[in-house]
């Protein structure tokens, strides 16, 4: 079963538009961590944010904001006033500890195209 | 501070051969994880090493193995290569093992099997 689902395969927006990337996760663990990573065309995955399961406060960092809702098992990522440099593949990830093993699970990624 | 370094960047092998990929973590990081990234399967966790011990393992066959040295550098080995092993292999390091640690990724090694 897919533990992290990113239903949007590819999104195209025009510069300055706001865009939200969806992420839905599944876990039996009560303590878990959620992450977002950005993979630009150069290939290196860049860490963006980490949230733990006990902290549902939304977070804002510049043009980036994250909405964590345990009730819907979602951890969505919004980019405000998108820029061409935001074009990349964005991955949502879950880390939990089930059956005494820590594991990372990545979603399939959402490719964001920001056009000038 | 130097990031995660993976060598080589590109590698071409033929079926049946074996390959060893190398990863040097960020200085001070003691945990190293390996992932396989393919267009069809996305990012899949291979294994994690911490203090020279394999701590976690994904669902890959025994042809995929790894090890970690006392300086935290890690190697991944794939034996009897198959066409389906063609992928980008990513290494990630973190300060310690544990589900709360953000991982910092290298540029990857792109392995092509002919």
Residue B53 tokens read as 């011990």
d(CA A52, CA A37): 15
Whether residue B93 is predicted with pLDDT greater than 80 in this model: the reply is: yes
Interface touch B33/A104, C-beta < 8 Å? yes
Query: Which residues on neighbouring strands pair with residue A60, listed in sequence order?
Result: A65
pLDDT per position as a tens digit, A23-76: 999 998 888 999 999 999 888 889 899 898 988 888 888 999 999 999 999 999
**Would you tell me how many other CB atoms lie within 10 Å of the CB of residue B91?**
29
Residue A34 tokens read as 């959620």
**Would you tell me how many other CB atoms lie within 10 Å of the CB of residue B2?**
8
Can you give the pLDDT at residue B59? 85
d(CA A61, CA A64): 5
d(CA B90, CA B25): 12
Chain A residues near residue B107 by CB distance under 8 angstroms:
42-44
d(CA A50, CA A60): 12
Region B41-58: what's the mean pLDDT?
A: 88
Q: Is the peptide bond before A45 cis (omega within 30 degrees of 0)?
A: no
Region B23-46: what's the mean pLDDT?
A: 91
Provide the b/e sequence for A1-36 (b: ≥16 CB within 10 Å): eebbbbebeebebeeeeebebbbbbebeeeebbbbb
Question: Among A44, A45, A96, whose Cβ lies nearest the Cβ of B99?
Answer: A96
Disruptive mutation site among A43, A53, A91 for chain B (greatest number of B CBs within 10 Å)? A43
Disruptive mutation site among B26, B33, B42, B95 for chain A (greatest number of A CBs within 10 Å)? B42
The mean predicted confidence, pLDDT, of chain B is: 92
- Under 8 Å CB pairs connecting chains A and B tally to 61
């Amino acid at each position: 079963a897919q533990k992290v689902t990113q239903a949007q395969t590819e999104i195209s927006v025009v510069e300055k538009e706001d865009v939200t990337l969806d992420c839905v996760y599944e876990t039996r663990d009560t303590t878990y961590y959620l992450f977002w990573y950005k993979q630009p065309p150069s290939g290196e995955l860049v860490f963006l944010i980490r949230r733990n399961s006990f902290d549902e406060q939304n977070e804002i960092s510049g043009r980036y904001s994250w909405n964590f809702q345990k009730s819907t098992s979602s951890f969505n990522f919004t980019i405000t006033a998108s820029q061409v440099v935001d074009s990349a593949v964005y991955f949502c990830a879950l880390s939990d500890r089930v059956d005494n093993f820590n594991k990372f699970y990545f979603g399939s990624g959402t490719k964001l195209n920001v056009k000038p | 501070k130097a990031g995660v370094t993976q060598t080589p960047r590109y590698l071409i092998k033929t079926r049946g051969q074996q390959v060893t990929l190398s990863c040097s973590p960020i200085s001070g990081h003691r945990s190293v994880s390996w992932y396989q990234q393919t267009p069809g399967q996305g990012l899949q966790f291979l294994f994690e090493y911490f203090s020279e011990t394999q701590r976690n393992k994904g669902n890959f066959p025994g042809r995929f193995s790894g090890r970690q040295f006392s300086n935290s550098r890690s190697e991944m080995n794939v034996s009897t290569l198959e066409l389906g092993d063609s992928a980008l292999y990513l290494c990630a390091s973190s300060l310690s093992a544990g589900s709360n640690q953000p991982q910092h990724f290298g540029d990857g090694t792109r392995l092509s099997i002919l």
